[in-house]
Every structure is written in C-alpha cells, then in structure tokens.
Amino acid sequence: MNGTGNPVSHIRPALIEAPDKVDPPTRLALEHKGLEVQNIIAMGLNESCYPPSPKIIEAMQQNLSLVNRYPDAQCPHLTDIVSERTGIDRNCIVWGNGSEELIKGAIDLSLSPGQGLVLPVPTFWGYKSMVASFEANVAEVEMLPDGQTNIDGILGAIHNDTRIVFLITPNNPSGLMVDQAGLDEIVHGVPENVLLCVDEAYFDFGLHAGGPNVLETLKQRNAPWITIFTFSKAYAMAGMRIGYALCSDAKLAQALQKTTCVFNVPILAQFAGEAALLDTEYLDFILDQTANGRDQLFIGLKDLGLEPYPSVTNFVSTPVPMNGRDCLKAMLDKGVQINAWADPGYENHIRITVGTESDTETCLATLKKVLNSA
Amino acid sequence: MNGTGNPVSHIRPALIEAPDKVDPPTRLALEHKGLEVQNIIAMGLNESCYPPSPKIIEAMQQNLSLVNRYPDAQCPHLTDIVSERTGIDRNCIVWGNGSEELIKGAIDLSLSPGQGLVLPVPTFWGYKSMVASFEANVAEVEMLPDGQTNIDGILGAIHNDTRIVFLITPNNPSGLMVDQAGLDEIVHGVPENVLLCVDEAYFDFGLHAGGPNVLETLKQRNAPWITIFTFSKAYAMAGMRIGYALCSDAKLAQALQKTTCVFNVPILAQFAGEAALLDTEYLDFILDQTANGRDQLFIGLKDLGLEPYPSVTNFVSTPVPMNGRDCLKAMLDKGVQINAWADPGYENHIRITVGTESDTETCLATLKKVLNSA
C-alpha cells in the first residue's frame, strides 16, 4: 500500500464485484506460462499451433523500423481488402485491439447501466467481466444439454429493455456452431430496436467445416447488427492484437469507433494483417491441418472412453470423470497446458486446443495417465 | 446502408453526440498520411523523429515467429523492471494498449454517468471524446494566459460529486509542465475520496528538462492516485501500443485491470518494451537530441517573429498570424505535416513536433513561406 486512506470508496462498486477478465482455470494455465512458451506443450489458449505465415513474418520484418510512427486506426489498406471481399461499405468497418475491444465497444455503444443484455453461456469468460463492469441487466441463456446454443431461449429472454443480444458462433468452449435454420431464426427474430452482435472469432473454422455464412444472413436483417472477427485464431496472430467489426450501417460503425482507442491497432499488426489476408494458401493450410488435428484429438478422446463435443473449431471440449481444474493442474505438472471450463455446472469439463500431430499424441497419452491415476 | 430500419435508436445518445476520437486538425493531417509516412516530413503527431533503438528492433526480430501466441497481459518481465526502478509494488502496476486504454480505464473505474470529472484544457483531444462517452459531468479548467496549468482552478472546480481529477504534465499541446510547488498543491489538495490521475505521456522529456519527479510527490499523497506512462514518445514505439499505470494500491490496480482487454499488449511490444527500458543509453540519446532539436525549433520560430510556448517536450506550440488549420493545410501541401490546436479560442495556434535538424530547417523555411503568403 502506497499511502491510501480509504482504498475502496473511490472505485465503482460494480467494478469491484466484477470477476477478473481471466477466468480461474485460464489463470492457472497462464501462471505456468508467462512468455516462456517454449518449455511447455501449449494447448490451453486456443492459439494456432502453427506459426504465422512466412509472409506475415516477412511483412513485419520489413517494417520494424517504422514502429516510432503512430498506426492509422482506420487501417486503410486492410479496410480496402475486407470491403472488397465482404461487400460491406468501407464506412461500416471498424478495427480493434483484437476482437475483445470491439465486443466491449458494442456493449458500450448500446447499453446504459441497468439495461438488458442477452448472453448465451457458457462462452468466452471475458464476457462475464465486461457485462458486470457495464452494470448490464444480464439474461444468461444456458446451452442445450447437447452443447448447442439455445436459440429459442435467447429469443425468449429478450424483454422491453433489452438493448443488445449476443450470438457466439462457433462458440467457445463448446466448439459447436449454429446451423442455418437457427441463424435465420435469430437474425429475423431479434426485434429491430435491439442490436444483434455476433462474435465470429472461430468463423474460418466453422465455414471450413461446412457451416452457414453468417454475414450473408445478417445482410437480410432489417435492423442493426454487428459481426466481429479476429486474426488471433486461423491467422495465427493472437500476439498481435487485431480484429475487426462489420456493421449494418455507418452510424453504428461511427459509434463503435468512438468506443475504441484512437491508435488501437499496432502498426506491425496492420502490415501483418494485410499479408495474412492475401496469403489464402497458408490459411487453407492451417484450416486443413486444424481439421485433421481436430479429428485426431476427437477420436483419441473417444478412445479414452470420453464423450467429446463434436467441435468445428481449433479445440475440443469434453467431460472427464474428475474435476476439470484438477485435471488441468495434473496435466500442467506433466508439461501439457490444457484448459478447463470456468462456468458453474461444468466443473468436470476440460478444453483442449488442437495441436500438431505429435503434441496431440503426447497430450492424449498424458491425459490417459492423469485419468487413470485420478 | 446494409438494411437498417431505424439507424439511431439503438445507439446510446451520449455516444452519438461525443466528438470523434481524432480532432479535426489531426484528422486533416492524418488523411494525407495513412501508412505512407515515407513521402512526407512527419512533424504532426508528436512521434519520435528517431527510429526505435536497434536493440528494440532486434528484440522484435528475434520473436516474430511467436506471434501466434497470446501475450501475457500482466507483462511479468516488464513489471519486474518497472517495480524495481520505481519502488512500486508489482501488484500496483497495470499495462495497457498505449496510455489511452489506461486513461479510459481510470475514468471507467471511478465514475458513473453524471458524476464529476475535472479536466484541464486544452489537452490531448482523446479526453474530450472519452469524457463525453462516459457521460461525465465535466468541469474544464482553462490554462492560464501564459500556457501554464491552472492549479488553483483545478482545485476550485472540485465539488461534492467529483470522482476523478486529471493532471497532464508535461501537457500537450502547451508543452509546459507543472513545477514542484504546483505539484505539491494539487497532490495534497485533491480530497482523499477523489482519484487523482496524472497523465505523464511526456514524462521523460520533462524530467530531462529539470522538472519535478511526480511519482515521488504522489507517494506522499494519503489518498488514491494513478500515474500513467507510455512507450510512444521517448522510446519511439508509438506504433507498438504499450503503456503502463502505477497505482496507489493493489485494489485500485485490480479495478483498473478489469477495465482493460484481457490480452491487450502485443507480444512483440513486450519484448520491445523490455529492450527499451534496458537501453538507457539510447533513451539518453533521444532525450539529448530532442532537447537540441527543440531549441532549434524554438529559436527558429522566434526568428520568424513568433512567440512560441517554452516547451519541455518533443514539440513546440505557437500562435501564428493566421488560422492554424489553414496553416496546417498549406504546410501539408508543401510536404510538411504539422498540427493545429483543436480547442475553441486557440484557432491561431499550431503545434510542431521536434524533427531531425534538416527536417526542422525545412519546416521552418516552409513555415516562413506560408506565413509570408498568408
């Protein structure tokens, strides 16, 4: 304590009560990691197990001496590419420090303290902290027993004071995605005075697995929407902090922009992002490899007698016959970082990120030992 | 418009009314820039005119292939160094996506809509947008006629419902810093139930110019405080987005942490930041060169018959006998990017970032032409 008379009264109570941004299992996993990722098999954070494309590395390398310059938060070159590919107007595209800054911004722009927000759970833990911090009146909608998002539940949870509804597809930590029928139901069912915000962090994997095109469905919605993407997963750029939002209209995009920091996207992330979007061959490589690795992991878990969720992403979750956090700790002790679900009611659930073939083999062998000695 | 029936009602009104994050003169300056910084003499954004230290570039180069990994938002290695140098406990240090994320966080953690915030002006324009977005009840305190921060004015503006008071020293765009007497007055004068937040973006320059040590003074304050630093200025890392806050106590730091994004600081920025803090020789080089360049710029402006503010930073502001934005546009047309003050009442003020010796020469010669033909 550096001399504080009254250490609490000056802090907004909601923020004291809000959970930490990092959930307890992930905190456990991180504390054994820091920046020393070399010493552990890292299958805990849904990072890409493949390095970024050589073209991404080259793009950063060539621009290292420019980092004394502020980045342009409008990311003009990236915006051109995304606009051309998606058919979304340049003025409806907003860039963020990863997708989280934009998720936060979507809440910030739509909701005052006490107003309603609908959130399907379990999902990315950061949401729990964010919605508490914004003092949202949160309606959590539990996933169905098979892990699918409860679309009817989401629509039923909307009330007069609801300002924003979230849909996360494919979802983390279930790994499942909403199908076209469910998508149609929610896109047209959320009232037109309510903002529908879709989190598509795992978009590329879902599409590769044959999932519906969320954006094309959203374009038919005659009411406000935002859909959010990240370079952290399929582009192997988690460490660079870049994501973007496509918005239904320019006014909404302008409001979202105001919620972000002025110079939020690192200049090297902009060069890297451009290289990433243009290197479609490497993206295909990652998506193909990830699908293979996911099959390997899924089958391996089945072979251990487990019943994993049929994920379409770069991770697989499964119940285990022991406490998930204990499993995480035992695995960490043996040099393999996995994760566990943080939500109450799922204490026996673990989540494993797709690894290289040999890492997945090691992980499965280690898990077998851990389960046997539990 | 991608099909939006009612484009406004779903957006929080305060956010529609909030000014853009980028002030109009800077927007003017940026629109001629994008990422093509090579084609212009860039003296408009208070960036370092020197490239980052070779050790910073090397640190990034060596870790390019790690960018598929999430960064640890706790920045453990950086925290060790800062804690050791400042004597501030590790648990009282918070890292951000540049200093702006932390400034925003300080408001977020302390203030509910309608509550009071005291802001000395003119200052970094981002504040105007942030405080409007938070629906703060803002008391703006105008600088004194000589450009100094009005300390008595700040203390006089505090009322029963004030939650946070800002002090920016050295200040942008005046370039002036608060002296020890003023600092003592504010550090001990802000009531103990009010958070005092100091923005020290230009800290290194102020200290190099003989200014007081704000942190040592804050340590004597028996009430909550936060002081915020950035790597964007003296460390020539504006493009990497990294800053940090020192807090009076761990509870405050924990609340601040909850306002930030989970993985906010790029992994390369962490490696770069460590190299930056350790390369004190290069920092001294930048500070010495900047002081020389500032003298050159100040004397040059005087020689043009102007009355610049006696800046202690990496920029110099001055009134000119014409409209500042017109001056900015005329300079841009001739290949030199400067800036103009955005605040009403200062329409004839321009701000020029310290450049290399030859760039400053070119800038002064260009300004002479612009003023002569105005």
Q: What is the pLDDT of residue A1?
A: 37
Residue of A42, A64, A92 with shortest CB distance to B2: A92
Is B67 close to A97, i.e. CB distance below 8 A? no
Q: What is the pLDDT of residue A21?
A: 87
Average pLDDT, chain A: 94
CATH of B54-278, one of 3.40.640.10, 3.40.50.720, 3.40.980.10, 3.30.499.10: 3.40.640.10
Is B251 close to A34, i.e. CB distance below 8 A? no
Please compute, for residue A134, the number of CA atoms within 13 A of its CA located in the half-sphere on the CB side.
24
- pLDDT-derived band at A33 (thresholds 50, 70, 90) equals low
The nearest CA of chain B is from the CA of A324 a distance in Å of 22
Cα–Cα distance, A176 to A195 (Å, whole number): 23
**Nearest residue of B to residue A263 by CA position?**
B241
Cα–Cα distance, A362 to B140 (Å, whole number): 61
> Whose CA is closest to B315, among B225, B198, B201, B151?
B201
Task: Please report where in the chains the tokens 């790597």 appear, as a residue.
Answer: B231
Tell me: cis bond preceding A212? Omega within 30 of 0 counts: no
Task: Please report where in the chains the tokens 């920046």 appear, as a residue.
Answer: A35
Cα–Cα distance, A43 to A314 (Å, whole number): 10
Least confident of A8-22, A161-175, B246-260: A8-22
CATH code reported for the domain at A13-42+281-373? 3.90.1150.10
Q: Given CB atoms, is A181 within the 8 Å cutoff of chain B?
A: no
pLDDT in tens, A112-164: 999 999 999 999 999 999 999 999 999 999 999 999 999 999 999 999 999 99
The nearest CA of chain A is from the CA of B373 a distance in Å of 31
Q: What is the pLDDT along chain B (374 residues), one digit of tens a residue?
A: 334 444 457 899 999 999 998 999 998 888 765 435 457 899 999 999 999 999 999 999 999 999 999 988 789 999 999 999 999 999 999 999 999 999 999 999 999 999 999 999 999 999 999 999 999 999 999 999 999 999 999 999 999 999 999 999 999 999 999 999 999 999 999 999 999 999 999 999 999 999 999 999 999 999 999 999 999 999 999 999 999 999 999 999 999 999 999 899 999 999 999 999 999 999 999 999 999 999 999 999 999 999 999 999 999 999 999 999 999 999 999 999 999 999 999 999 999 999 999 999 999 999 999 999 98
Strands (E), B287-371: 315-319, 336-337, 339-340, 349-353
Q: Given CB atoms, is B72 within the 8 Å cutoff of chain A?
A: yes
Cα–Cα distance, B141 to B182 (Å, whole number): 15
Question: Judged by CB atoms within 8 Å, which residues 265-304 of B form the interface with A?
Answer: 265-272
Tell me if A274 sits within 8 A of A240, measured CB to CB. no
**Nearest residue of B to residue A196 by CA position?**
B10
> Whose CA is closest to A128, among A45, A23, A11?
A23
Tally helices (H) and strands (E) across chain B. Answer: 15, 12
Tokens of B367: 């300004």
CATH of B18-51+281-372, one of 3.40.50.410, 3.10.129.10, 3.90.1150.10, 3.40.50.1820: 3.90.1150.10
Cα–Cα distance list, A7 to B104, B118, B193 (Å) = 20, 20, 9
Tell me if B94 sits within 8 A of B253, measured CB to CB. yes
Tokens of A15: 């923020």
pLDDT in tens, A316-325: 999 999 999 9
In chain A, % of residues over pLDDT 90: 90
Question: Judged by CB atoms within 8 Å, which residues 137-176 of A form the interface with B?
Answer: 163
Is B11 close to A240, i.e. CB distance below 8 A? no
Helix, strand and coil in chain A, % to nearest 5: 45, 15, 40
pTM: 0.95
Is B262 close to A64, i.e. CB distance below 8 A? no
Q: What is the ipTM of this complex?
A: 0.94
Q: Given CB atoms, is A3 within the 8 Å cutoff of chain B?
A: yes
Residue of B3, B49, B68 with shortest CB distance to A237: B68
Cα–Cα distance, B149 to A177 (Å, whole number): 55
Substitution target in A27, A46, A70, A111 with the highest count of B β-carbons within 10 Å is A70
Strands A195-199 and A162-168: parallel
Let me know if the fold of A13-42+281-373 is the same as that of A54-278.
no
Residue of B61, B112, B267 with shortest CB distance to A113: B112
- Under DSSP, the state recorded for A21 is S
Cα–Cα distance, B219 to A32 (Å, whole number): 33
Q: What is the pLDDT of residue B38?
A: 57
> Whose CA is closest to B353, among B366, B333, B338, B373?
B338
Residue of B37, B61, B92 with shortest CB distance to A64: B61
Q: Given CB atoms, is B32 within the 8 Å cutoff of chain A?
A: no
Domain positions in chain B: 18-51+281-372, 54-278
Tokens of B365: 């010669």
**Nearest residue of A to residue B194 by CA position?**
A10
Residues from chain A that touch B118, judged by Cβ atoms under 8 A, are none
Tokens of A182: 């469910």
Q: What is the pLDDT of residue B30?
A: 80
Cα–Cα distance, A357 to B231 (Å, whole number): 40
Tokens of A240: 């660079």
State whether residue A272 is helix, strand or coil.
Answer: helix
